[in-house]
Amino acid sequence: MFIVHSTFLVPDEKANEVISIYQSRSKLVDKARGFRQFRLLQNEKKLGELTVQIEWETKEDYLAWVQSEDFKKIHELEKKYPDQELASIIPKVRQYSVVAL
């Protein structure tokens, strides 16, 4: 299993707005080969720190996803978000191989 975290900071007062966006996400990634699970995590002490966690069957499945047209489509939509402060946020991406369960 392969897990990817994309962590980003938003102003605390905009956290609920971003959460709402993810709650109504397109779910295109859910159809990708090897997709297992999507989660949006919120730091309990820093409400504006959010992490997208996506689980994959393999690293190769993840790499195929980031090269796909659906991936490009989703990320182009983010750039067009009306709130430019949110649209300009660049997440810190971390990748993990699951080595024990």
- In this prediction, residue 12 has a pLDDT band, given cuts at 50, 70 and 90, of very high
> What local confidence, expressed as pLDDT, does residue 87 receive?
66
The residue-averaged pLDDT of 84-88 equals: 72
pLDDT tens per residue, range 21-47: 899 888 999 999 999 999 999 999 999
Phi-psi region of 19 (alpha: psi -120 to 50; beta: other; left: phi over 0): alpha
User: Could you tell me if 1 and 36 are in contact, meaning their C-beta atoms sit under 8 angstroms apart?
Assistant: yes
- In the chain, the domains with their CATH numbers are 2-97 (3.30.70.100)
Q: What is the pTM of this model?
A: 0.88
Buried b (16+ CB within 10 A) or exposed e, 73-89: eeeeeeeeeeeeebeee
- In this prediction, residue 49 has a pLDDT band, given cuts at 50, 70 and 90, of very high
Q: Say whether pLDDT at 8 is over 90.
A: yes
In whole numbers, what is the pLDDT of the chain averaged over residues? 92
CA-wise closest residue to 78 among 31, 38, 25: 25
